[in-house]
Homo-oligomer: A and B are copies of this chain.
Amino acid sequence: MRKMKSTIQRSFSNFFFEYETPRQVLVRNRRVAVVCRIIQLGVLSYIIGWVFMYEKGYQTVDTAISSVFTKMKGVSYTNISEVARIWDVADYVFPEQGDSSFVVMTNYISTVGQKQGTCPELPDGKNKCTSDADCDEGKYKRHMTGKCVTNTSTCEIFSWCPVEDDRRIPDPPILQTAENYTLFIKNSITFRQFNVVRSNLVESVDQNYIGRCLYHPKTDPLCPIFRLGDIVERSGFNFSDIARVGGAIGVLIDWDCDLDLSIRHCKPKYEFYGLYGTGKNDKVEKPSLGYNFRFAKYYVEDNEEKRTLMKVFGVRIGIIVHGRAGKFDIIPTFTAIGSGVGIFGVATVVCDLLLLYLLPKRDFYKSMKFKHTEVQDVEPTLPPSQKEKELPKVTYLSTADR
């Protein structure tokens, strides 16, 4: 009992008062040493220079949650068949409440005064009929009455009548002046992990500046007011083209913040690129160009429900926020150091391979590095001057070389 206690005590004191460190061989060989030092310096400079300085491996990273509000401004004047008309923001933005994704109407085909009834299909070449027999009732795409209208050579259908005639898209686009509209973007981001809230109206963007600025990548990179024509051109489109048939544009607000610095340096960058369509990122023409949608304004006239159907072509803008902030944190720092030390181990392995397998004196170095515990079989295939001659080692070692 006493014995055991003292054993435990001694183990315990051994553990606390003894410290083990690996025994090393110092190999005095210039070739190996220089190669190894270079490898080690390479690893070290990789860890410090790349992982720590460039990639900021000592930082923990959070992505932003964000909220976007948009507001268009501008007025267009059109004069179609002697009918003048003004278009303001309530007329040309969909939806109206300032979402992060919205459409600015730049062209349209309107069909005024549609009501439920029967009328012939559009004679666009695909719907020809010569007799009533060609007009099957109950087809899914259109609801046919079974009659072929001789006038247009198309089937009669039950539909909102008259049917929309979208064979010709107005050219030039009706609202070509949409180019001069301005877009105001408000963006708020939150880095939950760091408890940081930030708006794209940063310190230098005050009320006065907003009143007179217009975004320009060089001179006004922080102004949150954008000219629609600029957005379109910076994303690689031609305004006349996109205004005529429509198109989609992504506006990227990119936040890349180093929160180890002052929060004032956390600023947004704006980027513009074309989506789906003829934008700069698409080298080849993609199947589905253009952008349009239909909507209807309903009204009651003479106790009948009518509607004005609008086929709207426009610039669809999607605002995408990409926020990323880094801040010093102990965990990624230690993980990076730990991995670095691991890679140092790889460097040692490479040097050892060099030392033990490639150098002329490799057998000598082997004998320096390794100690054997057991008598080995007699191995006549190796020269007697080397490692395998170590027959009497065991007893020798067990007494002397500990």
Contact = CB atoms under 8 A, between A and B. Distances in A.
B159 A86 contact: yes
Interface in A295-330: 295-301, 306-309, 312, 316, 318, 320, 322, 330
A197 B281 contact: yes
Contacts of A390: 402
A381 B6 CA distance: 9
Nearest to A101: B99
A45 interface: no
A14 B10 CA distance: 37
Interface in A358-382: 364-365, 367-374, 376-377, 379, 381
A402 B376 contact: no
Contacts of A65: 250, 252, 320, 322
Interface of A: 3, 6-7, 10, 15-30, 32-34, 36-37, 46, 50-51, 55, 57, 65-67, 69, 71, 74-75, 77, 84-86, 88-91, 94-103, 116, 140-143, 158-160, 177, 180, 186, 188, 190, 192, 197, 199, 201, 205-207, 209-210, 248, 250, 252, 254, 273, 275-276, 281-282, 286-288, 291, 293-301, 306-309, 312, 316, 318, 320, 322, 330-331, 334-346, 348, 351-352, 355, 364-365, 367-374, 376-377, 379, 381, 387, 390, 393, 396-398, 400-402
